[in-house]
Amino acid sequence: MFVGHYSVAFAAKSEKNKIPLWVLFIAVQFVDYIWATLVLLGIEKLRVIKGFTAGSMLDSYFHPYSHSLVAAMVWSAVAGLVYKIIFSGHGCLYIKHAALIVGVAVFSHWILDLIAHPRDLAIYDNKWKVGFGLWNYRDPEFALEIALLLGGIMLYLARNVMPAIRRTAVIAFGIALVVVQVGDTYVPRTPLTDKATVMGVWIFYTLFVVAAFFLEKIGKRRQISSR
Ligand SMILES: [Zn+2]
């Protein structure tokens, strides 16, 4: 699962919880940030094999600290707590609710990975591996990613008031994410090394975070001055 994860970020943001979209973009990929970092450090293991599954080249044969069910639960709690500490200037009830949403957004990563991954997600440590393996079916997996993303963006547009220019930018960003997914799923390429692959993960995910940050700035000054 790739851009489909961002559907949760878009869907989770509301006028009420006011969680910045860029924070939610980190949250939904938090587990993968841990994974990419641990692969870079040589602690978790990855093989990149052409045609490993129809929709992905990643053979994640050892990633218990980022992608086991228990680890995902721990990371979700950690992320919720970090959010609470950093954004604690907003009043107690509000921040509790928002921290919970951030935690759930982090955990959503594991649930969506469970659908796409072949049986490589451990329940605990490196044991009892699960995964429904939708990545074995390229077109349905792609369709699910896009359907999720579109649904998330539609919810975001419905639940958040914004100037027309930002609305247009959100749609353009959505299209860009679809193009990235088309490239990832359908454009043939030679497999990179494990380290280069996770460096790419870091770079791309962070570019999307930066894009999400600026997205919510678009038209902001005009919005304030028109009040
Ligand atoms: Zn993942």
Are the C-beta atoms of 146 and 7 separated by less than 8 Å? no
Are the C-beta atoms of 197 and 45 separated by less than 8 Å? no
Span from the CA of 112 to the centroid of ligand 1 (angstroms) = 8
**Closest to 118 measured CA to CA, from 3, 27, 197, 1:** 1
| 6-12 average pLDDT score | 98
Span from the CA of 102 to the centroid of ligand 1 (angstroms) = 17
Whole-angstrom Cα Rg for the chain: 18
The pLDDT confidence band at residue 52, using thresholds 50, 70 and 90, is: confident
Span from the CA of 15 to the centroid of ligand 1 (angstroms) = 28
**Closest to 138 measured CA to CA, from 177, 185, 178, 182:** 185
Span from the CA of 24 to the centroid of ligand 1 (angstroms) = 15
Q: What is the percent of the chain with per-residue pLDDT over 90, rounded to a whole number?
A: 81
Span from the CA of 53 to the centroid of ligand 1 (angstroms) = 15
Span from the CA of 47 to the centroid of ligand 1 (angstroms) = 14
Span from the CA of 117 to the centroid of ligand 1 (angstroms) = 9
Are the C-beta atoms of 195 and 54 separated by less than 8 Å? no
Are the C-beta atoms of 116 and 62 separated by less than 8 Å? no
Span from the CA of 116 to the centroid of ligand 1 (angstroms) = 10
Span from the CA of 120 to the centroid of ligand 1 (angstroms) = 11
pLDDT at 209: 98
pLDDT at 224: 56
* Predicted confidence (pLDDT) at residue 226 exceeds the cutoff of 90: no
Report the C-alpha gap between 92 and 59 in whole angstroms.
Answer: 43
The pLDDT confidence band at residue 51, using thresholds 50, 70 and 90, is: confident
